[in-house]
Structure 1
Amino acid sequence: MTDSPARADAPLDPIQPSAGSRSQRAAERLRDLVPGGAHAYSKTAAQWPSTAPAMLSHGRGAWVWDLDGVRYLDWFAGLSSVPLGHAHPAVTAAVTRALERGTNFQLPAHAELRAAGLFLDATGDEMVKFGKNASDAVDGAIKLARHATGRTTIARAADQPFFSTGDWFIATTAAASGTLPGAAAHTLGFPYNDRAALARLFTDHRDDLAAVICEPVRFVRPEPEFFADLRRLCTAHGTVLIFDETVTGLKYEFPAARPLTGITPDLTIWGKGIANGLPLSALTGRADLMRQADTTRPPKPGRAGLLMMSSTHGGEAASLAAMTATLTVMRREQALLRTRATGTALRNTLDDALTAADVQDHLTLTGYPVFLGLHARGNEHITDHELRALFIQEVVRRACLFRGIFYATHAHVRDHVDLTADAVAAAATTCARALAHGPDGLLERPPPRRVL
């Protein structure tokens, strides 16, 4: 097995998946032990093309290897949770030091003070509560908003894909099985950037709106007028405004994407990349709101009981050390300037490759250079879904690990862009054939089934 990092300009080897490979055997065994063979539905084999590795072994920088020693150029870095690249030495060193001092205690540890101070200095917020996954942080923010307002209804951006595994959200999706009856009735949807729909939302529900939650940006640019209206309406009606920066944090701006909107939310959710792949989430916000989760204080007059937001592992030292190192490196090395430059070069280079294959009207890259999404438009010979699946299959076949999003990390360099352009050019040529004659004989597996 290869343990040393590959040269950035080393050519990518074509992938020849083998049913009897060590990776395949291990993945089959894992499916016997873990439902679906993965701990996130987006990691299951059913969500990937047949050309994808069955199981990964390790990663360094922008590269990952499977159990058979085959290397892949990684363009989604732990579902976008590894902004510095895999096994970054500063993060590894910080975690090692923390492990040597003990990781969890029955009283607050000094590591929590240092981490909270650094994180709030970076975000500009007043108070923070750390946790382990962003769904818990989102659900905590929803409970806090309901507690603070005495209301029950939550409004969320309906065209944004995921917020939480909590009933308030998941009951509104196709994965609603197991949620409490009636949970979906307390959640409303509104279209992102739609000022008229936002006005109607507050006209119809302002007396019961506890919170509005949305991502500040993803692939569509935020409209300043929409967000100005959102901030004004939430303030006027006492509704808590929550930004979910689980995905957007440490990508668009440092540390958050919210400056792109021109406003400041009341609460913000953080996750994924803040600890460079280690498990850490955070809820930050205004002190007057956050202190309502302080169980050392008596309940407010007229309010029933206390609001419980408690986590055994919220103060776990290794992940806090990883977060401290991650933010320090990103700020010191101006990492987002580099990722923006890499992403811009990637977009320009890939656009040229798609145009050269004459598929630019059917396969396009959308969004900001730091987080590029693939949009597929089929024709009478191939559906949108099939075309997208075929393109991903062929890019992955050429050892670029990609599943619809190109996420440039601090570890990616120009040579990686050139290697990816070769893979995209080959995939685009195959897609041109499918657009002319259909996917038969080209698409090896049906497109993945949507879960949400």
Structure 2
Amino acid sequence: MDEQHPHGRTGATRLRHLVPTGAHAYSKAADQWPPTAPPLLTRGQGAFVWDADGHRYTDWFTGLTCCPLGHAHPAVTAAVTRALQHGTAFQLPTTMELEAAETFLGLVATGDDMVKFAKNGSDTVDGSLKLARYATGRTMIAKCTDHPFFSTGDWFIGTTAACGGTHPEPSARTLNFPYNDTAAVEHLFTTRGEDLAAIILEPVRFTPPDPAFFARLRQLCTQHGTVLIFDETVTGLKYHLGGARALTGVHPDLTCWGKGIGGGLPLSALTGRRDLMELGDHTRPIPGRPPLFLLSTTHGSDAAALAAMIALVNEIAATDALARAHTTGAELRHTVDAQLTEAGLAGHVRLTGYDCFLGIDTTGNAQVSGPQLKTLFLAETIRAGALVRGIFYPTAVHTDEHLALTAQAARHAADVCARALDGDPAAVCLPAATRRPL
């Protein structure tokens, strides 16, 4: 029995008997976390979460980044409560949908003309590719190989190690290119430009976007009539209110949004140019062509999620919450770097990326591999009360208290990692490196 999590471990075992992998997202499954992670959480408030055994953690990934204002934010909670009191599902469009569309296009997806709401990022990504194929009459898609996840669709999953059960045809029409590699995309268009319906990539992750790469990519897509799609499912509402696409210097034809835009409730969106988006209006088919059935989600118009988005976006805009999150991230980077340096670990564990979304890179030695070292660092950080999953996602609700608690956890983890690198097997039990299937 897990001595630290007896109730959580028992509950997680029961859950896995009822739910494949014991989780509804692959990134929440037990094999994606170090063994010290709490098996089940029970509640969250701000930047704290509690597990089934009553332990409190500083949460640095707030609902897989779905909560840009932390858990149970008062403005979001109040908006959802009001929506629930007026009903959430209707058989005709509602005024809430109008307000949501105007708010999202006015404050977030600025420069885009139309929006279609759905419930998860895979739906909007797959819809964007269907729209690109319809608009161009082509079938090939090119995705960035440096970005880890786009969709549960066969076109993407069929290209991964977890390809069981997928149809081979969609993945055979999926091409690859590396991020920021201008020569590679030029070669892609030289050899397959006339076949390419769409290029899809995240605008940024941890490596800054190269303006020259994005300028050339935009030029090539326009020249060849290829639809340029940015996947901001992860990056939206982190780098800027208007998304990370602002960092690239170019504007895509279509953008997919998800995770954080619902403030913790399920919501995604597809936005883009009017001439493309209107192709998805099946009530106005193009003469001589079958209509395009773009996206149809019974719950895409769910009033509670739309109300949460409206409240979230307005709160972020009114309080400059993203700027405060960046400031917190800079303080976190300084704090953790100091603990790593004092422990002699600066050359082995590093924080990368932007202050709003910090990755953790590791380099091992003869005693400990890089992946083992990363798993050990995360395991010990979690053991000491900071819930980290390879990424620090600072928000406006992380306070000096959270930073202080995390500094203590990082120092504990750094000391353990330093002993492991020095080859002290008696003091350190190395965990198996966390395996990611995608």
Which deviations, in whole Å up to 9, do the C-alpha atoms of 1:293-315 show, x marking residues without a partner? Answer: 101112x2443443342111111
Give the CA deviation at 1:50.
1.9
Which deviations, in whole Å up to 9, do the C-alpha atoms of 1:203-225 show, x marking residues without a partner? Answer: 01110000000000010000000
Q: CA contact under 8 A between 1:17 and 1:53: conserved in structure 2?
A: no
Q: Does 1:437 align with 2:419?
A: no
Which residues of 2 match residues 225-374 of structure 1 at below 5 A? 225-298=212-285, 300-374=286-360
| Distance in 1 separating the partners of 2:429 and 2:197 | 47
> Any idea what SS the aligned residue of 1:437 has?
coil
Counterparts in 2 of 1:337 and 1:439: CA distance versus 1, 3 Å? farther
Aligned counterpart in structure 2 of residue 128 of structure 1, from 115, 119, 125: 115
Q: CA contact under 8 A between 1:50 and 1:444: conserved in structure 2?
A: no
Give the CA deviation at 1:166.
0.5
| Distance in 2 separating the partners of 1:83 and 1:217 | 18
Detail structure 1 runs of 4+ shifted over 6 Å in the superposition.
Answer: none
TM-score in terms of structure 2 length: 0.97
Q: Does 1:170 align with 2:169?
A: no
Give the CA deviation at 1:440.
6.6
| Distance in 2 separating the partners of 1:83 and 1:23 | 26
Give the CA deviation at 1:41.
1.2
Equivalent residue for 2:404? 418
| Distance in 1 separating the partners of 2:397 and 2:224 | 45
Report which stretch shifted further, 112-121 or 439-448: 439-448
Give the CA deviation at 1:17.
5.2
Equivalent residue for 2:15? 30
> Any idea what SS the aligned residue of 1:288 has?
helix
Give the CA deviation at 1:74.
0.3
* Alignment-mate amino acid for residue 437 of structure 1: G
Q: Percent identity?
A: 58
| Distance in 2 separating the partners of 1:236 and 1:219 | 29
Give the CA deviation at 1:415.
2.4
Equivalent residue for 2:61? 76
> Any idea what SS the aligned residue of 2:354 has?
coil
Q: Does 1:110 align with 2:95?
A: yes
Equivalent residue for 1:57? 42
Which deviations, in whole Å up to 9, do the C-alpha atoms of 1:122-148 show, x marking residues without a partner? Answer: 121100000000000000000000000
Report which stretch shifted further, 131-140 or 41-50: 41-50
> Any idea what SS the aligned residue of 1:207 has?
helix
* Alignment-mate amino acid for residue 197 of structure 2: A
Give the CA deviation at 1:20.
6.7
| Distance in 2 separating the partners of 1:332 and 1:136 | 30
Aligned counterpart in structure 1 of residue 369 of structure 2, from 383, 397, 400: 383
Q: CA contact under 8 A between 2:5 and 2:39: conserved in structure 1?
A: no
Q: CA contact under 8 A between 2:282 and 2:291: conserved in structure 1?
A: no
Aligned counterpart in structure 2 of residue 219 of structure 1, from 194, 203, 206: 206
* Alignment-mate amino acid for residue 85 of structure 2: E
Which deviations, in whole Å up to 9, do the C-alpha atoms of 1:392-411 show, x marking residues without a partner? Answer: 01100101001110000121
> Any idea what SS the aligned residue of 2:230 has?
strand
Equivalent residue for 2:136? 149
> Any idea what SS the aligned residue of 1:163 has?
coil
Counterparts in 2 of 1:176 and 1:398: CA distance versus 1, 3 Å? same
| Distance in 1 separating the partners of 2:5 and 2:75 | 38
* Alignment-mate amino acid for residue 191 of structure 1: P
> Any idea what SS the aligned residue of 1:415 has?
helix
